[in-house]
Amino acid sequence: MRIVDAVWEKRNLGVSTAEVAIGNNDSLESFRELSRELEKAYQYVCVKCSTVVPEFLFELQDLGYRFIETQFEIKFDRDNKAVLPSSEGLYSLYADRISFREMDDMRFDEVMGIIGEEGMFTTDRVYIDAAFPQHLAGRRYVGWCRDLKDSGSFFLEWLVNGKPVGFYEYTKTSATAWHTSLGGIYPQENAYAFLTPAINQKLLEYFCAQGMKTMRSAVSSNNSVMLRLHLSVGYQISAVHYVFVRHNNLEGLAGQ
């Protein structure tokens, strides 16, 4: 098992947080012992386990963990992709209207103000969790973006007819293997949401022209629209995990 003291979530959510990844060879007994320690040490525990260890599904619930989402790891490979005809058709109609621009520091700060507002990440596991005030989800994403930027991630904006309608984060883990964690349409620009397949298809072409071969990411089952979108432009599911959470003394969060 891999246990991480998620100190960034203490800043974002105001609670001590642990993130636990259960491996295929981990035992139920070792997790039971760990769970007792985590209950004493952390207010919020998030556990991810592979779908190939189903015995943990029952044990986690018996120990007070609640299922919150299924997480799909996805991968785009420029040499092995299959774009759906519906996405190709939308792309052919609107590609000329779509462009991208890298964010400078000033624009990055402006965009953080946009995504910090309640309403952008409404499928996030914190947003849908009644134990947390919903506005904390926006604060969490702002903190996440700033951490990614500080660690070397790039941020760009999607433009339609020259108007910024959304943003995208990506990291170059190598010259050809990239990774993305965050992105989306701005809440006030939801009228452009129908264009996201065309936007993402053109974005992948934009990246491939810079040498990218593969792009990896993850999508929640709580956002099935986004999962279908990625699959429609050539991504494939590479792994699936269940995610559970446990709350230990979260009183007082409403005033944050």
Domain residue spans of the chain: 2-72+244-255, 73-239
Listed as ranges, residues in the chain with pLDDT below 50 are 254-255
Q: Which neighbouring-strand residues pair with 248?
A: none
At 254 the pLDDT is 47
Tell me the whole-structure pTM to 2 decimals: 0.91
User: Tell me: domain 73-239, CATH 3.40.800.10, correct?
Assistant: no
Tens-digit pLDDT profile for residues 96-151? 999 999 999 999 999 999 998 867 889 999 999 999 999 999 999 999 999 999 99
